[in-house]
Structure 1
Amino acid sequence: MKLSTSIRKRFRVSNKVKKSAPKERFRLCISRSAKNISAQIIDDSKNMTLLSASSVEKDVKSGAKVNKTELSKIVAEKLAKKAQEKNITKIFFDRGIYKYHGRVKIFAETLRKNGMDF
């Protein structure tokens, strides 16, 4: 079965992160669409999602209309708050098929400003 380019790219990036990640760090997986952005903090040793944040959630959407870059900042701040409540500070950033540019870069920089280490 032949895999598409985007699926191959996602496997390549995610598997590099999974192989090099020590057990005390979790993986932050990000996904975005044309209008929304979401992220999950995943524990690969137990194969379960610990935290998640998305721009589709009601408390994020209930605010005033903002552009997509501001939306990614809001979601990053929300995820950082949840992570600090559970004492998660060290993670690996899994960008998936997306380049480290634009909304993904702003998301990562906002997480770093709010105390996440990767």
Structure 2
Amino acid sequence: MPQQFDSTTRRKLRVRASMRKIRSDRPRLSVHRTSQHIYAQVIDDAGQKTLAAASTLDTSLKGELKSGANIDAAKRVGALVAERAKAAGVTQVRFDRGAYIFHGRVKALAEAAREAGLDF
């Protein structure tokens, strides 16, 4: 009898399976969004280290943003994580959007990171 999973577990399994297929020597730019904030981090999977991170909760952004849950905030986080990644010596990444559709805040973060100098 096949094992049954709920929709959340199936989504997590599907996302991780796709990440295993595209193993790369590049670090990955991982995005997580909630209803109130957006987070991004550049992760080196080989060394299991976070190389750079940014979110709407950063002190440098928190006072300037009206809300952490809009496209403008995502653009600022994308530019900030790209700046921090370049300072850490990373210019090429692969984009890990998780289970999120490449639309809205996720797309805005990715485009801002590209404009700031990350290549993916």
Alignment of 1:36-115 (within 5 A): 36-66=37-67, 68-115=70-117
User: If the length of structure 1 is used for normalisation, what is the TM-score?
Assistant: 0.87
Relative contact order (C-alpha < 8 Å, sep 6+): which is higher? 1
**AA aligned opposite 1:6:** T
Instruction: Tell whether the 8 Å contact from 2:51 to 2:88 is kept in structure 1 after alignment.
Output: no
CA–CA distance in structure 1, aligned partners of residues 53 and 6 of structure 2:
27
SS of the counterpart of 1:73?
Answer: helix
Number of residue pairs aligned between Structure 1 and Structure 2: 117
> C-alpha displacement at 1:2, in angstroms?
5.1
Q: Which has the larger radius of gyration?
A: 2
Tell me how far apart the structure 1 counterparts of residues 91 and 62 of structure 2 sit (CA, whole Å).
26
Sort the Cα spacing of 1:109 and 1:14 in 2 relative to 1 into closer, same or farther, 3 A: farther
Aligned-pair RMSD on alpha carbons? 1.8
1:22 aligns with 2:41: no
Where does the alignment leave 5 or more consecutive residues of structure 2 unmatched?
A: none
The 2-side partners of 1:55 and 1:2 are apart by 37
Q: In 1, distance between residues paired with 2:17 and 2:110? A: 20
Q: TM-score, normalised by structure 2?
A: 0.86
Measure, in 2, the Cα distance between the counterparts of 1:68 and 1:94: 20
Question: Is the 2:28–2:95 Cα contact (8 Å) retained in structure 1?
Answer: yes
Q: Which runs of 5+ in 1 are unaligned?
A: none
Displaced runs of 4 or more, over 3 A: 1-4
